[in-house]
């Protein structure tokens, strides 16, 4: 039903870029359970240079690169050959009689046509396939970057802005394709043309060529110095456009809040601030580029001036004839043009380098949570879950959210976690599928520490339904299929029926092919929740986490969704987080979480009878009489059970 992910034969990022993720994996602890949720850190760049990392992307396209290089060499050779041929025939053939010239013109025409036909073919290959090679490299880099994002845990995304992460994928690599193609091409063609033309010029007059070489080396020295200055400017430019993307993403994602508060002008000012900062950075970039281009032009002016003045001096001293000076001035463009091409390419190269550095920052970052070297797929036989003295904080040295959290959940049991906001309920549930790792203590499923099993198998065994449901852009069927992409349509329908959403879907004009809109914007909260529940039904996990799954719904929607959740939880080990206590009265057990630990545990009636924290929360929601009434019913129930037990005895 949904579009299948395109499979490629390309190696993954760790294989394509030596040491990027491989180093991170090697750094994983070989034994024990060292804390791994500390902030991601970067692999030092001295392990693998930026140039070496970039060159590694040529490896899968080596055949194309070699062919492109050969074509570039042929183009350079032909461009150099023409002035040699012209000089030879003007000094030889064209000095002979008309008959000799006319007799040779046919052969000369055939040779030149053949030569430029070859150049035509090579130029097409370089321009078309050279760019295609660069585009493929850019695409590979973009895929590597996305795949690296997918390896990171929640903590990485907690610390980094979505707009900045998107900017690295979308805009930072725009110039990579041009640099990947034109870098080697310009290096080879311009290098051959500069050396070849210099040799040609030296054969005309070596003294003039020597001065030419001095000016060229001075220009190269200036270029190196200017590049160091431009590197910082282009990096700042990338950072500022990243800020623009961040602000744009933030404003668009919160468009409904913006409209509800009539704060369009506030958002406009915030965007304008980021936009103006980007404009300022871009103006500084263009000032730098303008200075650079003007200085290059000045060097070229100096070079031409030297040729005229020094050439005139040599002619006056009889060390050079006027014809040779004219020829020298004509051929000098063969020397200066490739130099100018290389220098003008500097802008593209620096933009690409700035983008590639930001790519490398991500690729060289070690993921927070890694599979252990000997990790095996988890085997969930019964579904018993155990938290043992778990401690956790979101940042090194930060306040502990969980402080000695202990909880045993029997197979198939439904246990509800209640307590004040910030007490650690959601954090405890996020640790079970290893969205984060514990600082100390352990979490196990059927006796298997979650750090000893593969993340993929662990998360496949756990299903989650949250308060804030995320639906992907696409159809209802595609969103349900996200639970198990290889499932058939009949299984999708069965999951929808189990989630009490099938009748609603069939009432839509397009049925299961109905588009849900961005983040499910075309559906109500209850409808989105039931699609999310159907997604988990299709996944069919052994362990279930329900995090405030009905808190944002109206009473009618809540009842429909609650029925679906009860059906989903049947026969599964289930952890329910709820502030609305009416939704968890029928849980097998209720645990009150306060201050990062379990402070009481029991059934609804038992906790009311104890008069502890849960009883206080219950009275706050339903009033004093409700609490006493439920407690009295609990006492009566226990008394009746005791009498029955006495009679049986």
Query: Can you give the CATH number for the domain in which 606 is found?
Result: 3.40.50.300
633 is a domain residue: no
Same domain, 546 and 588: yes
Distance from first CA to last CA of the chain, Å, rounded?
A: 62
Same domain, 407 and 508: yes
10: tokens are 């390309």
- 51-65, 329-343, 486-500: least confident range: 329-343
Same domain, 249 and 391: no
**What is the band of 405 on the pLDDT scale with cuts at 50, 70, 90?**
very high
| More confident position, 54 or 443 | 443
**What is the band of 626 on the pLDDT scale with cuts at 50, 70, 90?**
low
640 is a domain residue: no
Same domain, 308 and 449: no
Same domain, 317 and 430: no
Instruction: Summarize pLDDT for 453-484 with one digit per residue, the tens.
Output: 999 999 999 988 887 788 888 899 999 998 88
Query: What is the C-alpha to C-alpha distance for residues 333 and 324, in angstroms, rounded to an integer?
Result: 15
**What is the band of 555 on the pLDDT scale with cuts at 50, 70, 90?**
low
Same domain, 250 and 288: yes
Same domain, 215 and 284: yes
Average pLDDT estimate for 388-400 = 88
Percent of the chain with pLDDT over 90: 20
5 is a domain residue: no
Question: What contacts 577, CB < 8 A, 6 or more positions away?
Answer: 416, 417, 418, 425, 426, 429, 545, 546, 547, 548
For position 376, what pLDDT does the model report?
A: 92
In the predicted model, is pLDDT for residue 74 greater than 50? yes
Same domain, 392 and 358: no
286 is a domain residue: yes
For position 630, what pLDDT does the model report?
A: 53
Instruction: Summarize pLDDT for 258-279 with one digit per residue, the tens.
Output: 776 777 888 888 888 888 888 8
Question: Which residues are registered as beta bridge partners of 89?
Answer: none
- 389-403, 439-453, 546-560, 632-646: least confident range: 632-646
> What is the extent of the structural domain holding 338?
19-363
Same domain, 402 and 257: no
**What is the band of 46 on the pLDDT scale with cuts at 50, 70, 90?**
very low
CB neighbours (10 Å) of residue 275?
17
Query: What is the C-alpha to C-alpha distance for residues 455 and 367, in angstroms, rounded to an integer?
Result: 13
Answering whether pTM is above 0.75, one says: no
Place of tokens 């362990």: 543
Interhelix angle for 555-569 vs 489-498, to 10°? 120
CB 446 within 8 A of CB 382: yes
For position 120, what pLDDT does the model report?
A: 94
In the predicted model, is pLDDT for residue 612 greater than 90? no
177 is a domain residue: yes
For position 48, what pLDDT does the model report?
A: 52
**What is the band of 624 on the pLDDT scale with cuts at 50, 70, 90?**
low
**What is the band of 33 on the pLDDT scale with cuts at 50, 70, 90?**
low
Same domain, 616 and 501: yes
Same domain, 267 and 404: no
- Average per-residue pLDDT in the chain? 81
80: tokens are 């150099």
The number of distinct structural domains making up the chain is 2
Average pLDDT estimate for 541-551 = 81
519: left (phi over 0), alpha (psi -120 to 50) or beta: left
Max Cα distance, the chain (Å) = 138
Half-sphere exposure of 422 (CA within 13 A, CB side): 2
Query: What is the C-alpha to C-alpha distance for residues 85 and 314, in angstroms, rounded to an integer?
Result: 26
Tell me, what CATH number does 180's domain have?
Answer: 1.20.1560.10
* DSSP output for 407-449: EEE-TT-EEEEE--TTSSHHHHHHHTTTSS--SEEEEEETTEE
Question: What contacts 586, CB < 8 A, 6 or more positions away?
Answer: 604
402 is a domain residue: yes
For position 286, what pLDDT does the model report?
A: 83
């Amino acid at each position: 039903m949904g579009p299948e992910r395109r499979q490629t034969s390309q190696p993954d990022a760790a294989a394509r870029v030596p040491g990027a993720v491989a180093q991170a994996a090697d750094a994983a602890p070989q034994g024990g359970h060292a804390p791994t949720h500390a902030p991601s850190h970067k692999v030092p760049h001295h392990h693998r240079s930026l140039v070496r990392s970039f060159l590694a992307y040529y490896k899968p396209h080596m055949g194309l690169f070699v062919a492109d290089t050969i074509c570039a060499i042929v183009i350079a050779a032909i461009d150099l050959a023409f002035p040699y041929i012209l000089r030879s025939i003007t000094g030889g053939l064209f000095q002979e009689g008309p008959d000799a010239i006319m007799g040779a013109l046919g052969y000369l025409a055939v040779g030149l046509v053949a030569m430029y036909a070859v150049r035509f073919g090579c130029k097409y290959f370089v321009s078309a396939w050279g760019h295609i090679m660069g585009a493929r490299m850019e695409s590979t880099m973009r895929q590597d970057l996305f795949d690296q994002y997918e390896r990171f845990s929640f903590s990485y995304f907690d610390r980094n802005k979505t707009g900045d992460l998107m900017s690295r994928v979308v805009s930072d690599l725009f110039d990579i394709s041009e640099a990947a193609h034109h870098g080697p091409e310009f290096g080879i063609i311009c290098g051959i043309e500069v050396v070849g033309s210099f040799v040609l010029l030296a054969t005309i007059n070596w003294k003039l060529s020597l001065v030419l070489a001095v000016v060229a080396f001075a220009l190269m020295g200036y270029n190196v110095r200017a590049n160091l200055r431009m590197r910082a400017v282009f990096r700042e430019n990338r950072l500022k456009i990243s800020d623009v993307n961040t602000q744009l993403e933030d404003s668009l994602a919160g468009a409904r809040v913006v409209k509800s508060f009539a704060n369009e002008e506030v958002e406009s000012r915030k965007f304008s601030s980021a936009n103006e900062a980007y404009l300022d950075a871009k103006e500084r970039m263009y000032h730098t580029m303008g200075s650079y281009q003007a200085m290059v032009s000045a060097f070229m002016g100096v070079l031409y001036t030297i040729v005229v003045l020094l050439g005139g001096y040599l002619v006056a001293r009889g060390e050079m004839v006027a014809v040779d000076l004219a020829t020298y001035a004509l051929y000098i463009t063969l020397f200066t043009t490739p130099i100018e091409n290389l220098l003008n390419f500097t802008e593209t190269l620096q933009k690409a380098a700035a983008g590639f550095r930001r790519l490398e920052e991500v690729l060289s970052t070690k993921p927070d949570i890694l599979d252990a070297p000997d990790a095996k797929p988890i085997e969930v036989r019964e579904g018993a879950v155990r938290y043992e003295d778990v401690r956790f904080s979101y940042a090194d040295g930060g306040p502990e959210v969980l402080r000695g959290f202990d909880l045993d959940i029997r197979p198939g049991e439904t246990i509800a976690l209640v307590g004040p906001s910030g007490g650690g309920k959601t954090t405890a549930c996020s640790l079970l599928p290893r969205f984060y790792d514990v600082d100390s203590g352990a979490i196990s499923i059927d006796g298997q520490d979650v750090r000893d099993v593969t993340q993929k198998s662990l998360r496949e065994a756990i299903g989650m339904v949250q308060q804030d449901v995320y639906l992907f852009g696409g159809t209802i069927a595609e969103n349900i299929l996200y639970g198990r992409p290889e499932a058939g349509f009949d299984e999708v329908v069965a999951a929808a029926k189990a989630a009490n959403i099938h009748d609603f879907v069939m009432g839509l004009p397009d049925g299961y092919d109905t588009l849900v809109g961005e983040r499910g914007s075309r559906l109500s909260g209850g409808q989105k929740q039931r699609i999310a529940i159907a997604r988990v039904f299709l996944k069919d996990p052994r362990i279930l986490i329900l995090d405030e799954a009905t808190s944002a719904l109206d009473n009618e929607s809540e009842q429909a969704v609650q029925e679906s959740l009860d059906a989903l939880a049947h026969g599964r080990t289930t952890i329910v987080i709820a502030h609305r206590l009416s939704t968890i009265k029928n849980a097998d057990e209720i645990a009150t979480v306060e201050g990062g630990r379990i402070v009481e545990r029991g059934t609804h009636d038992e906790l009311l009878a104890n008069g502890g924290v849960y009883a206080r929360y219950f009275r706050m929601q339903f009033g004093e009489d409700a609490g006493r009434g439920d407690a009295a019913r609990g006492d009566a129930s226990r008394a009746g059970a005791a009498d029955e037990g006495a009679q049986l005895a």
